[in-house]
Amino acid sequence: MADTNVKPRPLPKPTPATQAFWDGAKKGKLMLQWDPTTKKYQFWPRANSVRTGKRNLQWKATSGKGELYSFTITHVPTPGFEARAPYVIGMIELDEGVRIIANLINIKIDDVEIGMRMKVAWEKLSDDITYFAFEPNKRAKSKPKK
Amino acid sequence: MAKSFLEDKEICIVAYGETKIVRRGGRSAYEIAAEVAEQLYKKTKLGPSDIDGVTFTVPISECSNPFWSGYATEYLGISAKWLQTSDIGGASAIGNVTRAAMAIKSGLCETAMILGVDAPSTQWRAYYGSYRNEFWDPVGVQGPPGAFGLLMNRYEHQYELDFRGLGALAVAQRNGAIKNPNAYEKLRHKITIDDYINSRQISSPLRLLDSVMWADGGNGLVMMKTSRAKKLGLTNRVYPISYAEISNFDCANQTPDITATGHSVVGPKVLRDAKMKAKDIDMFHPYDDFLFAVMLKAEQCGFAKKGQGSQFLRDTDLGPKGTLPINTGGGQISCGQPGLAGGGINLTEAVRQLMGEGKGRQVPNARNAMVTGIGVIPYGRNWGSANAMVLVN
């Protein structure tokens, strides 16, 4: 597992179906695909609605806010994350009703708690790619624990 | 289709083969296949010219080869009427038993070899498409351990997770590997629950001893009609009697309970089709990429109550003479995972036990077994393919 050759963090290669997501990210907007038939969002981006099979999805800029559904602390880093380890990977349930897996930044490991409010944050990886991460949304109150 | 097309015991398994598990052994999947096939010929007194159907699990070490089945059977000298390579990962082993049974039953072939052979610790050739390049790899998720860290943490939030229960399972499986000469040699030593608890965190709460280790190896079976087995004098027979499979359980749901898996469907179904209850099952051979997967399946296949899997594992004797023997040969976690042939580790042990050849780890009077499979880790869920099978002797 210990690799002496330090590899860079992998860069996404957008496709026609995902380009709008990355165009939004570059402007600091979290774009999600919205299904006009069921009036629901879905994630991750792809060519078709997972509910109807139609290729009629629309892109909408979203709030980028949600609640932490789960998290894991990564002790064995993947390529490009060596300097960050240990780091937190979170699964965030966005207010739009989808879940997204992302790095949690600007938070101490001991302060991470399921149910806490989160908001999107951005990390510039290259001229073309700005990547999503999440950070605590300190202005929001957490929902009471179930 | 009848309730279970397998229930009449028309199709049987007549032999199993298995190599020792090694790390970076240097042999290719073809060379491993040759060893498994030779064992199967020896036990059945058949040869390559008698085999007319072959199933494979796609090997990681050969998955960039678009003609794997053709190359592999040519290598073995088998002229086949029916070939199938399945890519449902660790679900492929029992999946292929069912696919072979269908092929035999429909007359596509007469004598099928079910092979799982792989050498990923010698040659790694996996590539994943779909969302991986854009929405997974750049996030820094530690692969399957990362996905299971997320899953375990959520479970712990919703229910109680007693890590000593997972530790008890780790110890029970390790005791099996110590008695299994085919297990990876470096894993054949005792561990304690404390060793499990104190093993280093990988993607917490998931620890090192929660996890499988990639290795090389292979396993296989021969299947045919029961009437033909009788004619050939093959007397030690095992029958698959029920099977169910589901891939991408509840997948359009964007906010599912990630602790609910496809096994909540297929586990109860195979019991119903076998006209059994969980308490009638003599031994459980669940696919074990991580201990936690075994725990969730123990709940969802009906052995433990929902949310009480870890307590069940902690309080149950899981050894070969216990209340519910689990993965008596060590499972993949204590044998090593021979790549995508790994699902065959659990299946082969079940067949070995049902043939009464468990030696120092034999489950007394074993009449039946439940075997499960898991394939692929999807985005933000548990596992992609879930299947289960009940076998009897």
Q: How far lies B70's CA from each of B77, B98, B312, B341, in Å? A: 10, 21, 46, 18
The answer, yes or no, to whether residue A1 has pLDDT greater than 80, is no
Q: Is A23 on the interface with B (CB under 8 A)?
A: no
Q: According to the model, what pLDDT value does residue B4 have? A: 78
Task: For residue A127, give the CATH number of its domain.
Answer: 2.40.50
| Residue B267 sits in the same domain as residue B377 | yes
Minimal-distance CA residue of chain A relative to B140: A78
Residue B145 and residue B208: Cα distance in Å, rounded? 9
Q: Domain for residue A6, yes or no?
A: no
| Residue B226 sits in the same domain as residue B254 | no
User: Whole-prediction pTM value?
Assistant: 0.96
The answer, yes or no, to whether residue A102 has pLDDT greater than 60, is yes
Q: Do B138 and A10 touch (CB under 8 A)?
A: yes
| Residue A50 sits in the same domain as residue A71 | no
Q: According to the model, what pLDDT value does residue A5 have? A: 62
Neighbours of A124 (CB within 10 A): 11
* Domain termination site, one of B179, B197, B231: B231
Low-confidence ranges of chain B (pLDDT < 70): 1-3
Q: According to the model, what pLDDT value does residue A7 have? A: 80
Q: Do A10 and B137 touch (CB under 8 A)?
A: yes
Q: According to the model, what pLDDT value does residue A4 have? A: 54
Q: What is the pLDDT of residues B279-323, one digit of tens each?
A: 999 999 999 999 999 999 999 999 999 999 999 999 999 999 999
| Residue B113 sits in the same domain as residue B179 | no
CA triple B227-B231-B232, angle to 5 deg? 115
> Based on the structure, what is the number of domains in chain A?
2
| Residue B371 sits in the same domain as residue B330 | yes
| Residue B182 sits in the same domain as residue B72 | no
Residue B349 and residue B347: Cα distance in Å, rounded? 5
Q: According to the model, what pLDDT value does residue A142 have? A: 58
Q: According to the model, what pLDDT value does residue B1 have? A: 45
Q: Do A72 and B254 touch (CB under 8 A)?
A: no
Mean pLDDT of chain A: 93
The answer, yes or no, to whether residue A143 has pLDDT greater than 90, is no
Domain around A142 = 64-146
| Residue B55 sits in the same domain as residue B199 | no
Q: According to the model, what pLDDT value does residue B5 have? A: 83
> Based on the structure, what is the number of domains in chain B?
2
Q: How far lies B389's CA from each of A111, B94, B343, in Å? A: 44, 7, 12
Domain around B19 = 11-126+215-231
| Residue B202 sits in the same domain as residue B223 | no
The answer, yes or no, to whether residue A145 has pLDDT greater than 50, is no
| Residue A71 sits in the same domain as residue A112 | yes
Q: What one-letter code names the amino acid at B222?
A: V
Q: According to the model, what pLDDT value does residue B321 have? A: 98
B17: part of which helix (H) or strand (E)?
strand B11-18
CB under 8 Å to A127, separation ≥6 — which residues? none
- Tell which residue, B77, B79, B80, has the closest CA to residue B53: B80
- Residues in chain A with CB shorter than 8 Å from the CB of B202 are 75-76
- Residues in chain A with CB shorter than 8 Å from the CB of B209 are none
Task: For residue B51, give the CATH number of its domain.
Answer: 3.40.47.10
Separation in Å, CA of B231 to nearest CA in chain A: 51
Q: A130 pairs with which residues across the strands? A: A124
What is the rounded (10 degree) CA torsion for B77, B341, B178, B169?
A: -160
| Residue B321 sits in the same domain as residue B268 | yes
Nearest CB among B153, B202, B258 relative to A75 is that of B202
